[in-house]
């Protein structure tokens, strides 16, 4: 099984990426390939005392940055580590992992790897790391959506949570501004009706955002705009609260002492918000597994991403998705729309 | 100055509403009118030892509940305390406060009080109670919007924060899924351009949700769908974090002791999230001040809402709004759209 990793993507690249890849290679039989600047990667391998030939290296000098336009992955930066990695995945790899530019990864994946037949739009699914983890999809790839996309994402999210996270009957919610069936824009109203009628998912209805931290469901579908706002606000609120606690605990000698009593529990709570345990955000709906690791990924996050990629492949999520999505490909109206869009 | 209060709206009605109204009446020269069941209100007045004739009472037996359809305020429940109060405001009141059904209050206000000339849509503006309070508009009244609405809300929010909260040059942000000008749906892209060109507001650009707790601006404009998700998630996250802390502090004797050291600071942090200090959410864009108090309002929240209503009236926000909105009324294309909609 060949896992390709973008060694140059993310805030801590290439050091932490290489370290995480080596760790995964040591613990598995996987064939791991690092794409990026060969000299830098070799230096990182030396720094972490990696056994020789534990990973393969494919050299490229170009890197796509966070400031680059997503579409530059196919144009000015078509030789960047992310683009090279995606083409390698297309031509015989089993999964691709990158902590780089999310927009570019999604654009590149959609056009190089292509969606599963029948899938209207692939999207980014992120695990919100609460006591009951919630897979939120889409988290920013598709700012405008149709009810049909949400319907398909509910199926894809269900398959991922069932197969990769081992949840037996994942519950699906629709993120909305109220619990009543009539709530939301026309998109949510239509999506509610479609989701209610689906027989291969367990739809629990509309979910309000205030319920999210309590884990109201396993899969939460929404448009990429709202998903992005939700994901970042949850992160921002957690960071804010820990910042406030830090200020409070460092106030004086007494509060510093009281911190010692609570230290382990607070650390555990902070760790529970660490999404790296879940091995990154899968791009669902593509013909091959692509995983977006968090921009701030450390070695552990990359190692976990490799493990999740392996589970993604082994459990046959995509094969199952192909079977379920065939019915959508038969819908003549949608086919026509898709074709028109492809012609543009 | 005549302030009309819906005595029957909210989780703690009529007890806390009456108590809060009495407190405000004691401390001001305001003429306060409570609308609702006379017998119940009189009992509440007795319970809080209110001086005689400190408030007026207008009797009605009907109450609109949280489960009622918003439009029922004009139909089946046109004699509910909220509808009676709004008509009294229209016919000679100075402000109206209700902690009842938000949708009904917005629908009733739009149709009974009517928007200021030139205003396309009134909306609900809520203060997010962070260290730097952020006025978020819209919070749920308009789930679909145009860039023009967002432009107008930026002006209205600026006027409110300047006049009622005394912020000298309020900064305005556009809630978006990234900071770059090209981010968001076409609505955000168009709104960005319009806001940048406005010379009577201080636009700081796109704001990502993760920045909100750090107070990136004074006024944050967004559609009512996203605003509702944002507001409720911020509430939900704060509640979740305090819940986690409670579990941690009650674990054993040591943690309980350590809580004593932190108690005051934690209480202060929790209190800082208490929006009641800000006197409720103003419905902006209407010809007269209407304030939505939180559904869980206690007496203090109602008293504060009365004070804020007084400031809302005295500072002439609406007069200033009328002057600024005149220019929108002259735009022929928009006028036509508005007229068409009114005909529907």
Asked whether the predicted pLDDT for residue A315 surpasses 70, the reply is: yes
Query: Fold for domain B123-280?
Result: Isopropylmalate Dehydrogenase (3.40.718)
Q: Are B269 and A248 in contact (CB < 8 Å)?
A: yes
Nearest CA in chain B to A265: B248
Domain ranges for chain B, please list them: 1-120+285-317, 123-280
Spell out the alpha helix ranges (H) of A283-316: 299-314
A265 close contact with B: CB closer than 8 A: yes
pLDDT tens sequence across A170-216: 999 999 999 999 899 999 999 999 999 999 999 999 999 999 999 99
Does the beta-carbon distance from B210 to A255 stay under 8 Å? no
Chain A environment of B186 (Cβ under 8 Å): 144
Q: What is the pLDDT of residues A252-282, one digit of tens each?
A: 998 898 888 888 989 988 888 776 777 789 9
ipTM, 2 dp: 0.90
Using a CB–CB cutoff of 8 Å, tell me whether A66 touches chain B. Answer: no
Contact yes or no for B212 and A236 at CB 8 A: yes
| Residue A37, pLDDT score | 98
A147 band by pLDDT with thresholds 50, 70 and 90 = very high
DSSP code, position A332: H
pLDDT of B330: 54
pLDDT of residue B103: 92
B1-120+285-317 CATH pick, 3.90.1640.30, 3.40.718.10, 3.30.470.20, 3.40.50.880: 3.40.718.10
Output the pTM of the full model.
0.91
- Is B72 in the A-facing interface, judged by CB distances under 8 Å? no
- Is the pLDDT confidence value at A95 over 70? yes
Whether residue A69 has pLDDT greater than 70: yes
Digits of tens for pLDDT over chain B (344 positions)? 999 999 999 999 999 999 999 999 999 999 999 999 999 999 999 999 999 999 999 999 999 998 898 999 999 999 999 999 999 999 999 999 999 999 999 999 999 999 999 999 999 999 998 889 999 999 999 999 999 999 999 999 999 999 999 999 999 999 999 999 989 999 999 999 999 999 999 999 999 999 999 999 999 999 999 999 999 999 999 999 999 999 989 999 988 988 888 889 888 888 887 767 777 899 999 999 999 999 889 999 999 999 999 999 999 999 999 999 988 775 455 444 444 444 43
CA B95 to chain centre: 13
Interface contact A258, partner B, CB < 8 A: yes
Q: CA A142 to CA B189: how far, in whole Å?
A: 15
- Contacts for A133 with CB less than 8 Å, ≥ 6 apart: A127, A165, A215, A218, A278
CATH of domain A1-122+285-344: 3.40.718.10
The token pair at B141 is: 């009244």
CATH number attached to the domain at A128-274: 3.40.718.10
Q: Kindly determine whether residue B184 and residue A258, on different chains, have CB atoms separated by under 8 Å.
A: no
Which residue out of A187, A215, A244 would a mutagenesis test of the B interface target, given it has the greatest number of B Cβ atoms within 10 Å?
A: A244
Other C-beta atoms lying within 10 Å of the C-beta of residue A185? 18
How does pLDDT run across B225-258, given as a tens digit for each residue? 999 999 999 999 999 999 999 998 999 998 898 8
The two beta strands, A123-128 and A134-137, are antiparallel
Mean pLDDT for all residues in chain A? 92
Using the Cβ of A248 and the Cβ atoms of chain B, whether some distance falls under 8 Å is answered with yes
Q: Is the pLDDT of residue A339 over 70?
A: no
A128-274 matches A1-122+285-344 in CATH topology:
yes
What percent of chain A lies above the pLDDT cut of 70? 95
What is the end-to-end Cα distance of chain B in Å, rounded? 36
> Confidence class of residue A337 from pLDDT cuts 50, 70 and 90?
very low
């Amino acid at each position: 099984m060949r896992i390709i990793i973008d060694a140059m993507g993310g805030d801590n690249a290439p050091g932490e990426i290489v370290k995480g890849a080596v760790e995964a290679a040591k613990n598995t039989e996987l064939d791991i390939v690092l794409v990026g600047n060969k000299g830098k990667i070799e230096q990182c391998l030396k720094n972490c005392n990696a056994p020789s030939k534990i990973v393969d290296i494919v050299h490229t000098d170009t890197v796509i940055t966070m400031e680059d336009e997503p579409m530059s992955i196919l144009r000015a930066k078509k030789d960047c580590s992310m683009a090279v990695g995606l083409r390698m995945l297309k031509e015989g790899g089993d999964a691709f992992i990158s902590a780089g530019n999310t927009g570019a990864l999604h654009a590149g994946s959609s056009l190089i790897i292509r969606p599963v037949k029948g899938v209207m739009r692939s999207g980014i699914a992120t695990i919100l790391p609460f006591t009951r983890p919630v897979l939120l999809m889409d988290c920013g790839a598709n700012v405008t959506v149709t009810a049909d996309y949400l319907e398909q994402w509910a199926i894809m999210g269900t398959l991922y949570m069932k197969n990769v996270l081992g949840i037996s009957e994942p519950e699906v919610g629709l993120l909305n501004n109220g619990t009543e069936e009539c709530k939301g824009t026309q998109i949510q109203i239509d999506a509610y009706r479609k989701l209610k009628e689906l027989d291969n998912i367990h739809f629990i209805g509309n979910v309000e955002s205030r319920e999210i931290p309590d884990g109201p469901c396993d899969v939460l579908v929404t448009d990429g705009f709202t998903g992005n706002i939700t994901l970042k606000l949850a992160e921002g609120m957690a960071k804010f609260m820990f910042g406030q606690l830090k200020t409070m605990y460092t106030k004086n000698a007494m509060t510093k002492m009281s911190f010692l009593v609570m230290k382990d529990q607070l650390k555990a709570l902070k760790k529970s918000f660490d999404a790296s345990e879940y091995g990154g955000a899968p791009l669902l709906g593509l013909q091959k597994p692509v995983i977006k690791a968090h921009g701030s990924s450390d070695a552990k996050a990359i190692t976990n991403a490799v493990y999740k990629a392996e589970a993604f492949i082994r459990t046959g999520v995509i094969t199952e998705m192909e079977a379920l999505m065939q019915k959508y490909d038969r819908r003549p109206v949608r086919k026509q729309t898709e074709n028109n869009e492809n012609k543009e």
